């Protein structure tokens, strides 16, 4: 691989990584409240770290020598760097602060600052001058403190650097290579990082060749069991120098590619997304309909209409108008007759209740809060089947976000359109006048007839006018009186029918209007927040899928 | 005084068991209570005031306890008397026990003896019951409870109460109940005793390294065994189901205590001078197997470069000791095998012997404490639980490892006898490392522990050069030869372990209490949520907000269309009356339906909110609550809920109609004039009850709301008030019932997670106390 080719590859992977990181950022943005906060926090930390690392020198590769106390990290560090930079010793633990050795110091400063390596522990190799080491140019080798001694319990320096170095070289030794402290906490956790992980089996000089071979096989089996598919194991000996060159060449490969930083971040990203993916629903629920479909909206409107009592309001209007119109357009004679009937209320001496009962119809339309709540609930439940629990709650909360205001808004909106049941239309008044006119006519007719009987038939006196004494008028008069009565009755019946017909029409219009208004309100206050949440759901999982690649 | 106290402990332990017996045998309702009372009578200086131990029941129970305790206490007492006289004749003891078992009157003799000792003849006289045997029983009871009094002066009044009970007539019943279990108990002891005795060799050889079983003085041993098995029983039954913080530790502690009791403490108490078990423990690759092989001068345990090497523990001992270990009292749970299984089964123990090992000392090579194979750690720790001496092996490369120090910490906590081997030390830097390590140990408070240093040297055939281990071999041989020293070492560890119970068991008990408290908290959450829901329903049904939506429209329809007026009609035969009574039934039905639907939706919504509230509250608790809250379906009402609510509201409406019909007989003055339609009137009543109130429809006139005035006019104020109260309380009762059913789901979830036994913590405290007393 030529250097330029490597660069091009790096740029490609960098932009790819950038896209995935952007997707992860979206996940972090949309996730809170829906995903385990610890996971979101971890993803957030990864994003920060990725941003920092990618800003800093891409020409350098940070290689960390990690391992248990006494495995020979510092000795190996010194061997690779060719100088006695990090003190070694027999006392355990030896190294307390990380040391760094840089091949090609240009531009490494900020990176070392970011790694928080103290100034006095930084060393530089002018690699170009060194014989045969030009391929290590760009290497920052770190000698970490151990992670398994009693000191490490309180000091997390090694832990921190293991999490952020580009390449980890696990320095193991025949005694400690199977320690739980190394494997359970790090190696198994970072199993996907094999591209940026090397295992150096140090102190190889302590074993006979056949023992070493057995040891390597055992270690390799162990690593495979832990999920490291193709472990790179380099037997080394810091004492004799054996295998150090192989280690160097493995490192040189990583350094030359200039890709380790990106690979490391990719591996971390894979790990985070794999953990996030565990919360994913089944594939078919990954994408939900981002809008609330018409049938459901219809269902919600129906339920809300019931909460307001739209059909009942219509029915009541029809009935109440029918009854109330009797007072106005009814046949007065019938009304007077019914008044003669005994009234239970007045016999109970609560006659004044009659007005109150009439006043009942004065109340405005309103919505029943509990029913509104249940309706909204039913919508949310229907939409979220198959979603993870946290998201179901999210949708439900979104649906309910304005539920406390909803009944009032509905009431206010609908009372505008719904007529008051105690309304009196003008034509009722006209009809009433007409009816009384007929009654007056009827009375006049009767009086006339009486006058004819008195003056014309009984001849009891001189009629003041001829007409009052003309007996021949009498049959006509009778016809007139009867027809006035009949006209009153007919017009009462007719207008009653008109009232009912009108009320029926009004009812249809009213119901349509109310439903329309309800659906507008519900769309605004329920459907919209729900759709936003569904959108968020889709975006989250789309971003997660993108971050997963 | 001390022996008396011990007897009581012993007796108490038996009482508890006898309580169990009784429960099993007969239907003895007080059995449970008896345990609690027992506890109080014995009175660990716990802050539990003996306030509950009053009343007849308590006395009867105390009496039964007393009677029982003595009957059993008699057995060891007679043994204690017999034992010093004829130690070589176990048959006699056998007979004596058998005699006790067969004849109750026999029991009297030791009992009366002791009654003399404790100068309490009064109560013996006082209890001149008609039946003689009963009388003796009761005197026993007095004595027994007196013993209890002796054991702890603080609770003197309690003991007195116990003796009171013995005199009372209730005592007869109590001792009766206890008698049944006595037999069982005695047979149990009869089994127990010969076993222990049989293990006593007829003539114990002195000065021999082969002293196998030298039982402790019998009463001490018995009391201790009883206390230990009591502790074991208490620990065994614990269920730590809720994930409160620290539950993992508590479960681990429980398993550890149990394993230690079973594998080590209980067998060891019997035979204090049995071969000492030296457990070699340490990191992987530290050279434990190599060390054992070298000391045994044979390749007993596999060595190699593979880590971890040893999977199955290997026990190496002198051939003479082999049988003792093969018998399997120590480490009873492990299967003895001759060679390690191929698949490395962890429940087996390889048993091997070597002439080179000193007799009386056995070495146990354990799996590692820190390799990737985590099952090994567990096995190693189990081995440690059974160890008389710990040999901790570490290396120059490992002596600062965190796992190593956690073992050292454990040894320190347990007070175990410890020797440390620092192996694989490069000769060049021996002094530096040794000094450094010594200083670390010093800082840790283990400076005076015996320490052996082994140089890094070539291993041939799985063994080190002999001279490297000479010092260690010397130490082992000394242990082997000097029986007293060995016993001391063993006793030190045993004491250490038992002392560690003093802190560990109460810690477990505290955790248990935390669980109980936590469960109560979760339960409170449920109750609080549903109480809030109930209050909410109350609120809605009294403030008039029910009179909205469909209900309002239907009410308007009902009132405005004249149906309300037609509810009443004149009681007058005739055309007009019959005509007027005709209503539109559809309209009142619709009104009724609307009322029902509104009430249902109010209850359903409240139920829904309560369910969510519970889950939210549980989530706010820590991990355990969160896990329980994750149980599917808890965040919403049960599937049946809506249907149940519907049925409930329907039933309530029917109930109200019934009330109006039966309770609401119209005022006599009214009844003559007016009759009414009950169905419709009850609807008016319901709307008045639920819908009106402070709603905007209600008029603020001083005379009350429309329905109220109408109904008052028809039914009269008194009966209206009665019906109103009854209907409302009935509704509330029905809703509570419904919510109780809902609550049950949460209780079920809690129960499935494990119900911590509330008395278990007390039992643990008591068992610890008993053990302390017995030691």
Per-residue model confidence as pLDDT tens digits over A105-120: 888 888 999 999 888 8
Pick the last residue of a domain from A241, A257, A273: A257
Q: Helix-strand-coil percent breakdown of chain B, rounded to 5?
A: 65, 5, 25
Residue of A nearest to B584 (CA): A319
Q: Which chain A residues are Cβ-neighbours of B284 within 8 angstroms? A: 175-176, 178-179
Given a cut of 90, whether residue B229 has pLDDT beyond it is no
Q: Residue A351's pLDDT is what?
A: 62
Q: What is the pLDDT of residue A3?
A: 37
pLDDT value for B670: 65
CB contact under 8 A, A183 and B372: yes
Distance CA A50, CA A433 (A): 89
* Binary contact (A421, B556; C-beta < 8 A): yes
What is the spatial distance between Cα B66 and Cα B171, in angstroms, rounded to a whole number? 9
Coil, strand, or helix at residue B394? strand
Confidence of residue A349 (pLDDT cuts 50, 70, 90): low
**Residues 621 through 650 of chain B touching chain A, CB cutoff 8 Å:** 630, 632, 635-636
Same domain for A203 and A129, yes or no, is yes
Mean pLDDT for chain B overall: 70
Residues of chain B contacting residue A71, judged by C-beta atoms under 8 Å apart:
397
Dist. CA A383–CA A387, nearest whole Å? 9
Do residues A332 and A186 share a domain? no
Nearest-angstrom CA–CA distance, B551 and A308: 9
Mutate which: B444, B550, B571, vs A, most A CBs within 10 A: B550
Given this model, what pLDDT does residue A167 score?
92
Q: A92, B549: Cβ pair inside 8 Å?
A: no
The answer to whether residue A378 is domain-embedded is no
ipTM above 0.95, yes or no: no
Least confident range from B76-80, B389-393, B581-585, B643-647: namely B76-80
- Which class is B273-481 in CATH? alpha beta
CATH value at residue A249 = 3.40.50.300
What is the spatial distance between Cα B577 and Cα B471, in angstroms, rounded to a whole number?
122
User: Which of the pair, B414 or B582, is modelled with greater confidence?
Assistant: B414
Token pair of A368, please? 């029943």
* Interatomic CA distance for residues B715 and B567, integer angstroms: 13
CB A92 to CB B398 under 8 A?
yes
Per-residue pLDDT tens for B506-558?
A: 888 888 888 888 888 888 888 999 999 999 888 888 877 788 888 888 888 88
Residue A533 tokens, joined: 């949440």
**Chain B residues lying within 8 Å of A340, measured CB to CB:** none
Alpha-carbon span B86 to A77, nearest angstrom:
77
Token representation of residue B743: 């609550």
Rg (Cα) of chain B, in Å, rounded? 39
Give which of B255, B60, B211, B198 is closest to B141, Cα–Cα: B60
For B371, the closest chain A residue by CA position comes to: A179
- A40 pLDDT more than 60: yes
**B388, B490 Cβ separation under 8 angstroms:** yes
Domain boundary among A211, A234, A257: A257
Of residues B438 and B268, the one with the higher pLDDT is: B438
Residue B734: is its pLDDT beyond 90?
A: yes
Residues of chain B in contact with residue A323, where contact means CB-CB under 8 angstroms, are 560-562
| Mean pLDDT over the full length of chain A | 84
pLDDT of residue B212: 45
**pLDDT on residue B532:** 93
Position B120 scores a pLDDT of 42
Lowest mean pLDDT among A63-77, A116-130, A472-486, B373-387: A116-130
The verdict on A357 and A408 lying in the same domain is yes
The first and second tokens of residue B722, run together, are 């009665």
CA dihedral sign of residues A228, A232, A235, A239: negative
Over the stretch A46-85, which tens digit does the pLDDT of each residue have? 999 999 988 888 888 999 999 988 888 899 999 888 888 8
As a whole-number percent, the residues of chain B with pLDDT over 90 amount to 6
Q: In this structure, is residue A37 part of a structural domain?
A: no
Domain locations in chain B as residue ranges:
2-200, 203-269+487-516+758-775, 273-481, 543-753
In this structure, the answer to whether residues A301 and A186 fall within a common structural domain is no
Across residues B356-360, what is the average pLDDT?
Answer: 85
- The domain in which residue A511 lies consists of 294-365+402-528
User: Which pLDDT score is estimated for A322?
Assistant: 79
pLDDT of residue A46: 92
- Does any CB of chain A come closer than 8 Å to the CB of residue B594? yes
Report d(CA B408, CA B422) in Å as an integer.
Answer: 13
Instruction: Give me the pLDDT at residue A451, please.
Output: 85
Residue pLDDT, tens place only, B287-302:
888 888 898 888 888 8
- Percent of chain A whose pLDDT exceeds 90: 11
Average pLDDT over residues B760-774: 83
User: Which is nearest to B191 in space by CA: B268, B262, B87, B97?
Assistant: B97
The residue among B731, B498, B510 whose CA lies nearest residue B603 is B731
Which residue, B458, B376, B389, is CA-closest to B420? B389
Least confident residue range of A415-419, B457-461, B652-656 = A415-419
Termini Cα distance of chain B: 14
The radius of gyration computed from the CA coordinates of chain A, to the nearest angstrom, equals 47
Residue A170 banded pLDDT, cuts 50, 70, 90: very high
Place of tokens 């049938």: A295
Residues of chain A contacting B633 with CB distance shorter than 8 Å: none
Distance CA A438, CA A446 (A): 12
pLDDT, greater one: A41 or B67:
A41
Tokens (6 digits) for A184? 């359970």
Rounded Cα distance, B68 and B73, in Å:
8
What pTM value is reported for the model?
Answer: 0.68
* Contact status, residue B395 vs residue B365, Cβ threshold 8 Å: no
CB contact under 8 A, A361 and B546: no
What are the C-alpha distances in Å from A80 to residues A238, A250, B464? 9, 12, 34
Of B99 and B610, the one with more pLDDT: B610
The alpha carbon of residue B242 is apart from the nearest alpha carbon of chain A, in Å, by 21
User: Are the beta carbons of A219 and A204 closer than 8 angstroms?
Assistant: no
Dist CA B372 CA B403 (whole Å): 12
Q: In which band, very low, low, confident or very high, does the pLDDT at A199 lie, cut at 50, 70 and 90?
A: very high
pLDDT at A484 over 80: yes
- Relative to beta strand B361-365, strand B314-317 is antiparallel
Tell me the percentage of chain B whose pLDDT exceeds 70.
63
Structure tokens, A174: 């025949």
Q: Confidence class of residue B194 from pLDDT cuts 50, 70 and 90?
A: very low
Angle at which helix B678-686 crosses helix B641-662, to 10 degrees, equals: 120
Q: Are residues A229 and A348 in the same domain?
A: no
pLDDT attached to residue B530: 92
b/e for A272-290, b at 16 or more Cβ within 10 A? Answer: bbeebeebeeeeebbebee
Q: Are strands B276-282 and B361-365 parallel, antiparallel or unpaired?
A: parallel
Residue A288 lies in a domain: no
Cβ contacts of A175 on chain B, cutoff 8 Å: 283-286, 307, 395, 397-398, 424
User: For residue B370, what pLDDT band results from cuts at 50, 70 and 90?
Assistant: confident
Contact list, A411 vs chain B (CB under 8 Å):
548
CB distance A92–B556 less than 8 Å? no
| B235-266: pLDDT as tens digits | 887 777 777 777 788 888 888 888 888 878 88
Same domain membership, residue A214 and residue A89: yes
Residue B717 touches partner A, C-beta closer than 8 Å: no
Among candidate residues A135, A327, A343, the one with its CA nearest the CA of residue A247: A135
Residue A346 confidence (pLDDT) above 80: no
Cross-chain residue pair B548–A358, CB shorter than 8 Å: no
Average pLDDT (B422-443) is: 90
Is residue A454 located within the same domain as residue A510?
yes
Task: For residue A178, give Cα distances in angstroms to A222, A223, B404.
Answer: 8, 10, 15
Chain A to chain B Cβ contacts (< 8 Å): 245
User: What 3 state SS string does B454-497 have?
Assistant: EECCCCECCECCHHHHHHHHHHHHHHHHCHHHHHHHHHHHHHHH
A346 and A417 in one domain? yes
pLDDT category of residue B403 using cuts at 50, 70 and 90: confident
State the Cα–Cα distance between residues B56 and B182, nearest whole angstrom. Answer: 23
Among candidate residues A355, A363, A368, A370, the one with its CA nearest the CA of residue A317:
A363
Statement to judge: residues A468 and A358 lie in one domain:
yes
B590–A174 C-beta distance less than 8 A: no
pLDDT tens digits, one per residue of B488-511: 888 888 888 888 888 888 888 888
The number of folded domains in chain A is 2
CB contact under 8 A, B553 and A315: yes
Inter-residue contact B145 to B37 (CB < 8 Å): no
Is residue A251 located within the same domain as residue A299? Answer: no
Mean pLDDT, residues A500-524 taken together? 86
Q: What is the pLDDT of residues B210-225, one digit of tens each?
A: 444 444 555 667 778 8
Per-residue pLDDT at B343: 55
Distance CA B499, CA B425 (A): 35
Residues 6+ apart with CB under 8 A from B85: none
Q: B415: left (phi > 0), else alpha (psi -120 to 50), else beta?
A: left
Query: Is residue A15 one of the residues assigned to a domain?
Result: no
Q: So what's the pLDDT on residue B92?
A: 40
Per-residue pLDDT tens for B113-168? 443 444 444 443 434 433 444 434 444 444 444 433 333 433 333 433 434 433 43
Q: Which DSSP helix (H) or strand (E) runs through B417?
A: strand B417-425
Give domain status of residue A418, yes or no.
yes
Please tell me the predicted confidence (pLDDT) of residue B392: 92
């Amino acid at each position: 691989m030529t250097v330029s080719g490597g660069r091009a590859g790096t740029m490609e992977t960098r932009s790819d990584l950038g896209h995935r990181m952007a997707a992860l950022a979206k996940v972090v943005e949309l996730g809170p409240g829906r995903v385990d906060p610890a996971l979101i926090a971890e993803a957030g930390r990864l994003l920060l770290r990725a941003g920092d690392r990618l800003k800093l020198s891409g020409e350098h590769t940070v290689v960390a020598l990690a391992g248990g106390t006494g495995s020979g990290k510092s000795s190996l560090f010194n061997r690779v760097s060719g100088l006695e930079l990090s003190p070694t010793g027999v006392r355990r633990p030896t190294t307390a602060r990380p040391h760094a050795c840089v091949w090609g110091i240009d531009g490494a400063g900020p990176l070392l600052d970011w790694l928080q390596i103290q100034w006095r522990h930084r060393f530089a190799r002018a690699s170009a001058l060194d014989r045969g080491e030009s391929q290590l140019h760009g290497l920052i080798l770190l000698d970490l403190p151990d992670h398994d001694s009693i000191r490490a319990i309180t000091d997390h320096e090694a832990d921190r650097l293991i999490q952020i170095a580009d390449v980890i070289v696990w320095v193991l030794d025949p005694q400690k290579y199977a320690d739980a402290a190394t494997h359970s906490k790090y190696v198994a956790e970072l199993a996907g990082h094999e591209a940026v992980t090397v295992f150096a089996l140090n102190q190889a000089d302590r074993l006979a060749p056949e023992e070493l071979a057995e040891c390597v096989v055992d270690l390799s089996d162990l690593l495979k069991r832990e999920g490291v598919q193709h472990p790179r194991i380099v037997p080394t000996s810091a004492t004799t120098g054996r295998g150090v060159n192989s280690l160097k060449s493995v490192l040189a490969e990583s350094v030359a590619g200039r890709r380790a930083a990106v690979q490391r971040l990719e591996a971390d990203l894979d790990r985070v997304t794999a953990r996030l993916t565990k919360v994913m629903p089944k594939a078919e629920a990954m994408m939900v309909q981002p809008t609330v479909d018409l049938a459901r909206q219809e269902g919600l409107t129906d339920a809300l209409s019931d909460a307001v009592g739209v059909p009942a309001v219509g029915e009541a209007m029809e009935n109440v108008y029918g009854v109330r119109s009797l007072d106005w357009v009814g046949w007065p004679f019938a009304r007077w007759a019914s008044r003669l009937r005994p009234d239970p209320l007045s016999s109970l001496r609560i006659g004044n209740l009659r007005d109150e009962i009439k006043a009942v119809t004065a109340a405005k339309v309103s919505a029943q809060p509990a029913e509104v709540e249940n309706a909204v609930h039913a919508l949310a439940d229907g939409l979220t089947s198959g979603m993870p629990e946290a998201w179901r709650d999210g949708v439900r909360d979104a649906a309910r976000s304005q539920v406390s205001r909803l009944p009032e808004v509905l009431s206010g909106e609908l009372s505008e359109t719904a007529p008051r049941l105690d309304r009196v239309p003008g034509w009722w008044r006209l009809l009433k006048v007409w009816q009384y006119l007929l009654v007056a006519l009827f009375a006049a007719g009767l009086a006339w007839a009486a006058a004819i009987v008195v003056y014309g038939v009984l001849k009891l006196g001189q009629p003041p006018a001829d007409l009052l004494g003309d007996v021949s008028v009498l049959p006509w008069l009778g016809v007139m009186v009867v027809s006035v009565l009949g006209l009153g009755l007919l017009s009462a019946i007719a207008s009653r029918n008109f009232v009912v017909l009108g009320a029926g029409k009004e009812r249809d219009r009213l119901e349509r209007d109310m439903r329309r208004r309800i659906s507008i309100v519900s769309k605004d206050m329920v459907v919209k927040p729900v759709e936003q949440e569904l959108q968020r759901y889709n975006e989250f999982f789309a971003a997660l899928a993108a971050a997963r690649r | 005084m001390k022996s008396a106290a011990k007897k009581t402990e012993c007796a108490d332990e038996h009482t508890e068991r006898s309580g169990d017996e009784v429960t099993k045998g007969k239907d003895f309702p007080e059995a449970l209570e008896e345990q609690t009372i027992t506890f109080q009578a014995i009175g660990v200086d716990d802050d539990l005031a003996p306030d509950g131990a009053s009343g007849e029941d308590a006395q009867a129970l105390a009496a039964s306890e007393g009677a029982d305790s003595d009957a059993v206490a008699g057995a060891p007492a007679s043994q204690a008397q017999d034992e010093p006289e004829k130690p070589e004749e176990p048959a006699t003891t056998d007979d004596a026990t058998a005699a006790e078992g067969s004849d109750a009157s026999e029991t009297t003799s030791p009992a009366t003896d002791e009654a003399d000792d404790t100068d309490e003849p009064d109560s013996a006289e006082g209890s001149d019951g008609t039946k003689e045997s009963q009388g003796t029983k009761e005197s026993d009871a007095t004595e027994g409870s007196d013993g209890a009094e002796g054991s702890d002066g603080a609770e003197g009044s309690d003991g007195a109460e116990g003796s009171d009970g013995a005199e009372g007539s209730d005592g007869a019943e109590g001792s009766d109940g206890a008698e049944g279990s006595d037999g069982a108990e005695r047979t149990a002891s009869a089994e127990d005793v010969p076993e222990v005795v049989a293990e006593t060799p007829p003539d114990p050889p002195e000065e021999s390294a082969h002293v196998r079983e030298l039982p402790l003085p019998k009463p001490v041993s018995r009391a201790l065994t009883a206390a230990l098995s009591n502790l074991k029983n208490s620990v065994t039954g614990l269920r730590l189901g809720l994930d409160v913080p620290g539950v993992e530790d508590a479960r681990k502690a429980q398993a550890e205590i149990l394993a230690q009791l079973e594998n080590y403490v209980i067998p060891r108490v019997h035979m204090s001078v049995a071969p000492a078990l030296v457990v070699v423990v340490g990191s992987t690759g530290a050279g434990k197997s190599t060390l054992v092989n070298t000391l045994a001068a044979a390749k007993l345990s596999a060595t190699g470069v593979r880590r971890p090497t040893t999977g199955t523990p290997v026990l190496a001992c002198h051939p003479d000791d082999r049988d003792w270990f093969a018998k399997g009292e120590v480490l009873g749970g492990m299967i003895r095998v001759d060679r390690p299984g191929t698949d490395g089964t962890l429940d087996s123990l390889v048993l091997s012997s070597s002439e080179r090992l000193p007799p009386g000392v056995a070495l146990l090579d354990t799996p590692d404490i820190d390799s990737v194979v985590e099952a090994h750690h567990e096995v190693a720790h189990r081995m440690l639980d059974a160890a008389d001496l710990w040999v901790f092996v570490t290396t120059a490369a490992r002596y600062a490892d965190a796992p190593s120090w956690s073992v050292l910490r454990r040894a320190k906590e347990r007070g175990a006898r410890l020797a440390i081997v620092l192996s694989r030390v490069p000769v060049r830097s021996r002094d530096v490392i040794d000094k450094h390590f010594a200083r670390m140990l010093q800082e840790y408070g283990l400076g005076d522990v015996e320490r052996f240093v082994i140089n890094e040297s070539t291993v041939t055939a799985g063994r080190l050069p002999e001279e490297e281990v000479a010092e260690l071999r010397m130490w082992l041989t000394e242990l082997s030869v000097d029986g007293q020293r060995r016993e001391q070492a063993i006793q030190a560890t045993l004491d250490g372990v038992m002392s560690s119970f003093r802190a560990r068991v109460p810690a477990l008990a505290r955790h248990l209490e935390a669980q109980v408290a936590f469960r109560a908290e979760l339960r409170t959450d449920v109750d609080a949520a549903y109480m809030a829901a109930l209050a909410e329903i109350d609120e809605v049904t009294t403030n008039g907000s029910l009179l909205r939506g469909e209900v309002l429209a239907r009410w308007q329809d009902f009132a405005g269309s004249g149906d309300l007026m037609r509810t009443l009609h004149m009681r007058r035969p005739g055309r007009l009356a019959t005509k007027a009574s005709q209503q539109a039934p559809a309209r009142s039905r619709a009104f009724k339906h609307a009322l029902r639907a509104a009430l249902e939706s109010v209850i359903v919504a409240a139920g829904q909110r309560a369910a969510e509230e519970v889950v939210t509250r549980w989530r706010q608790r820590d991990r355990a609550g969160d896990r329980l809250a994750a149980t599917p379906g808890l965040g919403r009402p049960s599937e049946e809920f809506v249907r149940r609510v519907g049925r409930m509201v329907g039933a309530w409406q029917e109930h109200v109609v019934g009330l109006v019909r039966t309770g609401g007989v119209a005022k006599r003055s009214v009844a003559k004039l007016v009759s009414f339609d009950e169905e419709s009137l009850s609807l008016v009543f319901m709307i008045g009850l639920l819908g009106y109130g402070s709603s905007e429809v209600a008029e603020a006139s001083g005379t009350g709301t429309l329905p109220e005035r109408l109904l008052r006019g028809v039914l009269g104020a008194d009966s209206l008030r009665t019906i109103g109260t009854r209907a409302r309380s009935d509704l509330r009762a029905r809703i509570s019932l419904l919510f109780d059913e809902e609550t049950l789901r949460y209780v079920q979830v809690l129960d499935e997670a494990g119900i911590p036994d509330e008395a278990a913590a007390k039992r643990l405290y008591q068992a610890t106390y008993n053990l302390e007393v017995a030691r």
